[in-house]
Amino acid sequence: MATIRVVCIEDEPEMIDLVRLILSREGFEVIGAPGGMEGLHAVEDLQPQLVLLDLMMPDIDGWEVYQRMKANPNTSNIPVIVLTARAQSIDKVLGLHIAKVDDYITKPFGPAELMKSVSRVLAAKS
């Protein structure tokens, strides 16, 4: 089976390291992008099977990254899981039902929660 490539767009290096640690144990390749613009370029260049996206970043926020990904025919079909500290239910409703992200995980999260979400989203896309 081919390695599943995941781009993690997140401005905190520790969070990228945590995601890489959790997912690499399951055989995923995780590429970290420390900002929105860099993340968009990585997604365009690498065409990953999945994007993990933080919402609050200094250059462009996660919603902007998501909108640009969905507007680009080359990246519009890539599933996106939002990883965010924004835990208000309104944010989750906006994410899942308005923007139609594939899943929404609030920080802090555990390894099992992340793996369950990743597995579910990838299974739904295959």
Checking if the pLDDT of 17 tops 80, the result is: yes
d(CA 2, CA 69): 24
| pTM for the whole structure | 0.92
Query: Residue 85 — pLDDT band, cuts 50, 70, 90?
Result: confident
d(CA 42, CA 10): 12
CA distances from 39 to 104, 109, 110, 120 (A): 18, 21, 23, 23
Task: Summarize pLDDT for 31-77 with one digit per residue, the tens.
Answer: 999 999 999 999 999 999 999 999 888 899 999 999 999 999 999 99
CB 70 within 8 A of CB 46: no
Around 126, how many Cα atoms within 13 Å sit in the side-chain half-sphere?
Answer: 9
More confident residue, 97 or 10: 10
Query: Residue 126 — pLDDT band, cuts 50, 70, 90?
Result: confident
d(CA 64, CA 40): 10
- Could you give the domains of the chain? 5-125 (3.40.50.2300)
Query: Residue 1 — pLDDT band, cuts 50, 70, 90?
Result: low
Task: Summarize pLDDT for 88-106 with one digit per residue, the tens.
Answer: 766 666 666 667 889 989 8
Q: Is the peptide bond before 111 cis (omega within 30 degrees of 0)?
A: no
